[in-house]
Amino acid sequence: MNAISQDAVASASGSKLEALNAWVAEVAALTRPDTIHWCDGSDAENAALTAKMQADGTLIKLNEQTHPGSWLHRSDPDDVARVEHLTFVCTSERDDAGPNNHWMAPADGHAQMDALFDGCMAGRTMYVVPYCMGPIGSPLSRCGVEITDSPYVVANMRIMTRMGAPALARIEKEGAFVKGLHSTGELDPNRRFIMHFPEELTIKSYGSGYGGNALLGKKCHALRIASHQARSEGWLAEHMLILGLQNPQGDTHYIAAAFPSACGKTNLAMLIPPEGYLNDGWKITTVGDDICWMRPGADGRLYAINPEAGFFGVAPGTSKKSNPNALACLQRDAIFTNVGVTADNQPWWEGLDNGQQPATDWRGEPYDAAKRPAAHPNSRFTVSAKSCPSYSPEAENPAGVPISAIVFGGRRASLVPLVFEARDWTHGVLVGAAMGSETTAAATGAVGVMRRDPMAMKPFCGYNFADYFSHWLSFDNGANKLPKIFHVNWFRKSDAGKFMWPGFGDNLRVLEWMIGRVKGEAGAVETPIGFLPTDADLNLDGIELDDEARAKLFGFEQAGWQAEFASIGEYLGEYGPRMPQALKDEQQRIAAKLAD
Ligand code: GDP
Ligand code: PGA
Ligand code: MN
Ligand code: MN
């Protein structure tokens, strides 16, 4: 065993906050690194770290002419996505974590993790990364410190959060922070766990370098720990994008939308209006693409901030046609993980459609279409939000932006129409609770299997879903002016198996209808599942939809919905007596209407 050096012990005291120094010293005593580096987030620090990673092969330099300041990282082939079966919520009471989480008693969780961390940083540098989720000056923001032995994690945290000196200053002032301990360990899938201790505001993650498992500010803090905190403090931490929709008159409405991972959040957040709309002066601004923290303001409306500072986006499918704003962000200073490269070292992925060809696949082998795709289906880019042409100045507003509409959505090949509106808040909470979606490559496991993913939070809610739905219902207290709630499905397929809705920029047509509903101007027909537009209530000028598409995108299929509501009833029942009665009543009310 190698003992921790005196130098390391001395450098444990890098802050003015005793509790932070003590924790860093305690972690160093357990993990026994060679050195401790407190990250200040400076350019010089980043340059030194990047040079070190280039030298040891962690980062591969991309073509400096076409992609200045950009890098490729190839992860371990067994470490390419979130691992939900290895992710735990460790609350003292098992029922507080709920059937929606894997659970372990906190003492057992700590024992298991500390055994893995024992001596794991020997010969390595331990980085102490202070970060702030949300604008440094916002009362809605929350801070954390991630300790990691991965410089790749540091480089990504620098883009994804407000990291370094300003965050440390806020932490020293507040005295409170979320503790996150991370080590890539030996990347053995059998020695990999992501554990959360919400009652202690603590995260321990071992054995993975992948974004959602390793960048602890993101899913672990900003969703699992924050959702738990939000419940006791009266706010919401959600898996939602936030966008501003500006109409030709110059009014902006903000919309928050929850779709499961790899179901279209980043694309919707950066949408460029179709030509006719552009000419008329419609515009979308991006506040956030993955996480939304919101709480009622003095006027009773919900105000939202994006706790992140960057985008960790899905690369495949991103093209000049589908998402020009994302492509513009990727011109410089981006980190690409598990994409392919061209012969002249430009990043490449399926659906990039720029006329170039891959030479090397994501595993570093010569590209062979018969063997594997050039880019892993869950390959990602990490890029600063500031580099996005549509980034909203309001994203830096410490007060957040007022939300006019909340949207839930998933990947549903059948049954679910393009869009519908919930009758009221309670119905809207049921619509969110009942969300179903086909699984994607963002998590390990089978792809394309329909599962319940309430509010797109199945992998991210840090407590019992029954309590989470009660918390959502509690916002309808008579004083709040709550947004309208909608449900969308961009992924409805024809009998021939093709997507029927053009999606992407044309999704603006659906957003326009929503704001029309908010203002009481747009038409709809009432059905048992909510208000549906007819194909005449949406502006469909310039797109072609055949009869099958019109029937399925705007239709209500009574028999199918009867079966769906029976399945929703069973799902709510799985949570037993803890499930709020108001939600069960709402399900039964609609099921009864469907039976008429
Ligand atoms: P996120 O992970 O929720 O942020 O999802 P992304 O916006 O990164 O999209 C995930 C995948 O869905 C990408 O391959 C996109 O090209 C695809 N996608 C996004 N929006 C649409 C849409 O409106 N229609 C269709 N058919 N595909 C979409
Ligand atoms: P996504 O983010 O929602 O943009 O896919 C990553 C994830 O949820 O794993
Ligand atoms: Mn996500
Ligand atoms: Mn995304």
Cα-to-centroid distance, 1 and ligand 2 (Å): 39
**Residues with catalytic annotation?**
263
Distance, CA of 299 to CA of 577 (rounded, Å)? 34
pLDDT value, residue 278: 93
Give the CA distances from residue 3 to residues 10, 91, 196, 236, 282, in Å, rounded to whole numbers and listed in that order.
14, 33, 28, 44, 62
183 lines ligand 2 (CB under 6 A): no
Give the CA distances from residue 349 to residues 150, 156, 584, in Å, rounded to whole numbers and listed in that order.
26, 20, 45
Alpha carbon 311 to its chain centroid, in Å, reads: 9
Atom 3 (ligand 2) nearest CA: 261
pLDDT value, residue 11: 74
DSSP string, 429-445: HHHHHT-EEE--TTBSS
Q: Contact at 8 Å (CB) between 214 and 184?
A: yes
Atom 1 (ligand 2) nearest CA: 261
Cα-to-centroid distance, 325 and ligand 1 (Å): 14
Q: How many CB atoms lie within 10 A of CB 252?
A: 18
The residues, ordered by sequence, that sit 6+ positions from 351 with a Cβ below 8 Å of its Cβ are 316, 317, 318, 319, 322
Residues of the chain with CATH 3.40.449.10: 6-59+86-234
104-138 pLDDT per residue, tens:
999 999 999 999 999 999 999 999 999 999 999 99
pLDDT value, residue 369: 97
458 lines ligand 2 (CB under 6 A): no
CATH number of 238-259+271-276+401-595: 3.90.228.20
4-53 pLDDT per residue, tens:
565 665 577 899 999 999 999 999 999 999 999 999 999 999 999 999 99
Burial grade of 535 (CB within 10 A; 0-12, 13-18, 19 or more): middle
Name the residue of 314, 382, 491, 494 to mutate for ligand 1: max ligand atoms within 8 A of Cβ: 314
180-202 pLDDT per residue, tens:
999 999 999 999 999 999 999 99
Distance, CA of 283 to CA of 324 (rounded, Å)? 14
**Helix, strand, or coil (residue 321):** coil
532-558 pLDDT per residue, tens:
999 999 999 999 999 999 999 999 999
pLDDT value, residue 3: 54
Atom 15 (ligand 1) nearest CA: 317
213 lines ligand 2 (CB under 6 A): no
- Nearest atom in ligand 2 to the alpha carbon of residue 82 is 9
Cα-to-centroid distance, 500 and ligand 1 (Å): 14
Give the CA distances from residue 30 to residues 15, 16, 115, 132, in Å, rounded to whole numbers and listed in that order.
20, 22, 9, 26
329 lines ligand 2 (CB under 6 A): no
Helix, strand, coil proportions of the chain in percent (round to 5)?
35, 20, 45
**pLDDT band at 596; cut points 50, 70, 90:** confident
Distance, CA of 421 to CA of 258 (rounded, Å)? 15
Cα-to-centroid distance, 452 and ligand 2 (Å): 17
Q: Contact at 8 Å (CB) between 492 and 553?
A: yes
The residues with which 142 forms a beta bridge, in sequence order, are: 133
471 lines ligand 2 (CB under 6 A): no
Q: How many CB atoms lie within 10 A of CB 330?
A: 23
What are the tokens at 212? Answer: 């959602």
Q: Contact at 8 Å (CB) between 211 and 448?
A: no
| Closest by Cα among 418, 434, 424, 428 to 513 | 418
Report whether 263 belongs to an annotated binding site.
yes
- Nearest atom in ligand 1 to the alpha carbon of residue 241 is 4
| Closest by Cα among 82, 152, 138, 115 to 382 | 152
What are the tokens at 119? Answer: 């001596």
Atom 1 (ligand 1) nearest CA: 262
| Closest by Cα among 104, 111, 215 to 161 | 215
DSSP string, 371-395: T--SS-TT-EEEEEGGG-TTB-GGG
Q: What is the ipTM of this complex?
A: 0.98
User: Residues of the chain with pLDDT > 70: what percent?
Assistant: 98
| Total count of residues recorded for the chain | 596
| Closest by Cα among 298, 310, 152 to 222 | 310
The CATH class given to the 6-59+86-234 domain equals alpha beta
pLDDT value, residue 414: 97
Distance, CA of 238 to CA of 257 (rounded, Å)? 9
What does the mean pLDDT of the chain come to? 97
Atom 18 (ligand 1) nearest CA: 264
DSSP string, 408-464: EE---SSS--SEEE-SSHHHHHHHHHT-EEE--TTBSS-SS-EEE-GGG-TTT-SS-
Atom 16 (ligand 1) nearest CA: 317
489 lines ligand 2 (CB under 6 A): no
pLDDT value, residue 12: 74
Indicate the pTM of the whole model: 0.97
Burial grade of 581 (CB within 10 A; 0-12, 13-18, 19 or more): exposed
User: Does the structure show a pLDDT above 50 at 1?
Assistant: no
414-453 pLDDT per residue, tens:
999 999 999 999 999 999 999 999 999 999 999 999 999 9
The residues, ordered by sequence, that sit 6+ positions from 466 with a Cβ below 8 Å of its Cβ are 98, 575, 576, 578, 579, 580
Report whether 264 belongs to an annotated binding site.
yes
Q: How many CB atoms lie within 10 A of CB 205?
A: 29
- Say which residue, 483 or 9, is predicted with more confidence: 483
262 lines ligand 2 (CB under 6 A): yes
User: Does the structure show a pLDDT above 90 at 296?
Assistant: yes
Distance, CA of 125 to CA of 33 (rounded, Å)? 6
Residues of the chain with CATH 3.90.228.20: 238-259+271-276+401-595
318 lines ligand 2 (CB under 6 A): no
Give the CA distances from residue 124 to residues 28, 44, 46, 171, in Å, rounded to whole numbers and listed in that order.
11, 20, 18, 26
Give the binding-site residues of ligand 1, using a 6 Å CB cut-off: 259, 261-267, 289, 313-314, 316-317, 322, 490-491, 499, 503-504, 507
pLDDT value, residue 8: 60
pLDDT value, residue 2: 47
**Helix, strand, or coil (residue 214):** helix
**Helix, strand, or coil (residue 19):** helix
